[in-house]
């Protein structure tokens, strides 16, 4: 298989203009089936259970943010990427 050499020129850049719901993650635990129990860092929010969340989470030491989009899709975002792209409203 040939190694990916990347694009011949810089790819187009995009700016996010989406509004999302998000909570900074204080702790996350996974069951054997990949179900996550997410403890939000913000006080006053209950823990969140999400099935099939392990493939979305690649944080290691960076617990990041639990993010829900307008269509209900839930995902994970690294802290730096989220904080550079979103401002609390």
pLDDT by position in tens, the chain (length 89): 556 666 689 888 888 888 999 999 999 999 998 899 999 999 999 999 999 888 888 777 889 999 999 999 999 999 999 999 999 99
* Rounded-to-integer distance, Cα 40 and Cα 17, Å: 24
Are 23 and 65 spatial neighbours (Cβ–Cβ below 8 Å)?
A: yes
Cα separation of 29 and 76, whole Å?
14
This model's pTM is above 0.95: no
CA dist 79 and 5 (Å) reads: 29
């Amino acid at each position: 298989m040939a190694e990916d050499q990347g694009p011949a020129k810089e790819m187009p850049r995009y700016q996010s203009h989406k509004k999302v719901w998000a909570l900074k993650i204080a702790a996350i635990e996974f069951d054997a089936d990949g179900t996550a129990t997410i403890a939000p860092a913000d006080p006053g929010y209950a823990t969140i259970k999400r099935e099939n969340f392990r493939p979305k989470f690649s944080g290691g030491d960076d617990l990041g943010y639990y993010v829900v989009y307008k269509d209900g899709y839930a995902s994970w975002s690294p802290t730096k990427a989220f904080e550079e792209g979103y401002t609390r409203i």
